Amino acid sequence: MEKWKVYDNNIFFDGYFEVSISFSEDWLTVYLFDDEKKIEINFYLVHGFRLLDEGIVQNGIYLNDDQLMTLKKNHFCNVLYELTDGEFGEFIFDTAGGFLSEKEIFHYVVITPNYNIDIVSRGIPKVTFL
């Protein structure tokens, strides 16, 4: 079963914020910003990412248990979560066909007002407050 854990309690917004994504061969960068705050989250050696409309994933299709409902009740007050036993992480691992070990990959989800962004990478993200 999928388990969600807040990655860092300091990565949050009080209201609406926007998101921008850029990626290259080695990096995926998620920029989060509003009028007062800017946060850059860099993921290194990304094996896969997906972007899903929040209306789909936050209605129980993505995570069909009480854990999502608890996060939703708290209005997803944090932005970055680390997942264990997540469906997308397992998909990337299975698709790699032995190229990766489970200990080498990390699965994260960035929750934004309009999208949920899944990222599977080899390392922990680097968070910068701009």
The Cβ-side half-sphere exposure at 25, using a 13 Å CA radius, reads 0
pTM (predicted TM-score): 0.86
Name the least confident of 2-16, 56-70, 86-100, 116-130: 56-70
Beta bridge partners of 48: 120
Cα separations (Å) of 62 from 11, 12, 16, 26, 94? 22, 22, 22, 27, 19
Percent of the chain at pLDDT exceeding 90: 43
The stretch 92-118 carries a mean pLDDT of: 86
Higher pLDDT, 56 or 89: 89
Residue 122 tokens, joined: 């080899």
Mean local confidence (pLDDT), 76-91: 87
How do residues 32-68 score in pLDDT, each as one tens digit?
Answer: 999 999 999 999 999 999 998 876 666 654 555 666 6
Average pLDDT of the residues in 10-19: 88
